[in-house]
Amino acid sequence: MEKLRQKAEVTVHVSGKDIFVEAQDENLYASIDALADKLDRQVLKHKEKKKDHAHEALKRQPVE
């Protein structure tokens, strides 16, 4: 007999992007916990990219 897999998924709309994350496990709570960890990493990655791009735009401005 095959065990059931519990799947959790979420889409978060952030400025300039939609972040989609999914996780599966035999235990629903473990699936949700893994989903939260993945989502946290993706949001931090997105924030770092936005921050880096803002600094690059400032660097490219002409100096008077």
Q: Are 4 and 26 in contact (CB under 8 A)?
A: yes
Kindly report the number of other CB atoms within 10 A of residue 48's CB atom.
Answer: 10
Which pLDDT score, from 0 to 100, does residue 60 have? 65
Domain count, the chain: 1
Is 43 contained in some domain? yes
pLDDT per residue as tens digits for the range 21-61? 999 999 999 999 999 999 999 999 999 888 877 666 666 66
Q: What is the pLDDT of residue 55?
A: 67
Decide if 54 is inside a domain. yes
Question: Distance between CA atoms of 29 and 39, rounded to whole angstroms?
Answer: 15
**Whole-angstrom distance, CA of residue 48 vs CA of residue 64:** 29
**Does residue 44 fall inside a structural domain?**
yes
**64 part of a folded domain:** no
Does residue 38 lie within any of the structural domains? Answer: yes
Domain that holds residue 28: 6-59
Q: Is residue 33 part of a domain?
A: yes
Inside any domain, residue 1: no
